[in-house]
């Protein structure tokens, strides 16, 4: 039977390993978030230049009073809105998804190394170890995020349920080399056997991210600084969340092994 105390013990064990080697892990994660932040800033700057020019054109056209100019201005206004939405859906969200998935994946690789060897891999070696899992993990993360977004569109609760049942796809992709649908199906199967504990974890993680976002939005009004701070916050929260996933994965697999062992012993005794 699933136990929150058992999950807590697993998490504390994983967190202790992370705590001993946090400097190496932090340096590894910097290689994820700093380049992504720089790319997003350059892309956002270009989007802002074009959208500002279009907005100025719209304003001048409407001020002229000419019908043709007003039509052109209306077209430019629509293009401005499309560009601003494009900046969100083509830059912000994909980069956030990539950063979160990769940082979680690298953290899981490092935790696996710490448990097997007693120490983390050097950053470049960790990247080489993660590389074979990168594309499958990104595809799986995209599918999970897409299904979650569709669920959130239908009164939020379905999105929470979908995200909860599919989140173990990340450790399954890396630790068991499961791919695509197989990783998603196994994630659902594992969570069905430990849903109570994981929903508690999901709620706590969601509240933590929401609180961090509210605090950052209140403290930082500059868009670039706010974006950088959000990336730093995600860089800090992603490995913590990865540790929770690894702890849950280990707890479920360990419990399965114990149950199988008990069954084998019972069969042998009979």
**Cα 101 from Cα 45, distance rounded (Å):** 25
CB 238 within 8 A of CB 28: no
Q: What is the pLDDT of residue 202?
A: 64
Handedness of CA 35, 138, 249, 195 (dihedral sign): positive
* Lowest pLDDT segment from 98-102, 114-118, 153-157, 170-174: 153-157
The pLDDT tens digits for 75-131 are: 666 666 666 666 666 676 777 777 778 877 888 888 888 777 777 778 778 888 888
3-state secondary structure 110-164: HHHHHHHHCCCCCHHHHHHHHHHHHHHHHHHHHHHHHHHHHHHHCCCHHHHHHHH
Separation in Å, CA 113 to CA 10, 107, 243, 261: 17, 10, 13, 27
Instruction: Look at 23-37, 82-96, 143-157, 219-233 and tell me which has the smallest mean pLDDT.
Output: 219-233
pLDDT tens column, 231-264? 666 666 777 777 777 777 777 777 777 778 888 8
pLDDT tier, 134 (very low <50, low <70, confident <90, very high otherwise): confident
Alpha-carbon distance values, 89 to 41, 44, 92, 93, 158 (Å): 15, 12, 6, 6, 22
User: Where do the structural domains in the chain lie, given as residue ranges?
Assistant: 4-258
- Banded model confidence at residue 191, pLDDT cuts 50, 70, 90: confident
Over pLDDT 90: what percentage of the chain?
A: 0
Who contacts 266 (Cβ-Cβ below 8 Å, separation ≥6)?
none
Predicted pLDDT at 115: 76
Q: What's the confidence (pLDDT) of residue 140?
A: 85
The model carries a pTM of: 0.68
pLDDT of residue 58: 63
Contact at 8 Å (CB) between 105 and 170? yes
């Amino acid at each position: 039977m699933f136990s929150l105390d058992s999950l807590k013990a697993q998490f504390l064990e994983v967190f202790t390993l992370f705590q001993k080697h946090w400097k190496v892990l932090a340096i590894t994660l910097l290689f994820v978030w700093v380049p992504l932040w720089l790319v997003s800033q350059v892309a956002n700057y270009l989007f802002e230049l074009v959208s500002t020019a279009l907005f100025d054109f719209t304003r001048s056209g409407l001020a002229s009073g000419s019908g043709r100019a007003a039509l052109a201005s209306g077209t430019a206004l629509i293009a401005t809105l499309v560009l601003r939405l494009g900046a969100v859906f083509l830059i912000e969200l994909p980069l956030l998804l990539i950063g979160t998935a990769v940082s979680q994946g690298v953290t899981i690789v490092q935790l696996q190394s710490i448990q097997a060897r007693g120490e983390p891999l050097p950053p470049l070696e960790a990247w080489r170890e993660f590389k074979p899992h990168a594309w499958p993990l990104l595809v799986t993360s995209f599918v999970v995020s897409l299904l979650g977004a569709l669920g959130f569109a239908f009164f939020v609760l379905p999105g929470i349920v979908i995200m909860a049942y599919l989140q173990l796809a990340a450790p399954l992709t890396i630790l068991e080399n499961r791919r695509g649908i197989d990783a998603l199906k196994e994630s659902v199967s594992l969570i069905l056997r430990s849903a109570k504990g994981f929903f508690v974890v999901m709620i706590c993680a969601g509240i933590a991210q929401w609180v961090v976002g509210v605090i950052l939005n209140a403290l930082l009004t500059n868009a670039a600084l706010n974006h950088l701070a959000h990336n730093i916050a995600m860089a800090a929260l992603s490995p913590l969340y990865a540790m929770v996933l690894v702890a849950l994965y280990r707890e479920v697999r360990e419990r399965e092994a114990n149950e199988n062992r008990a069954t084998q012993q019972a069969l042998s005794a009979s």
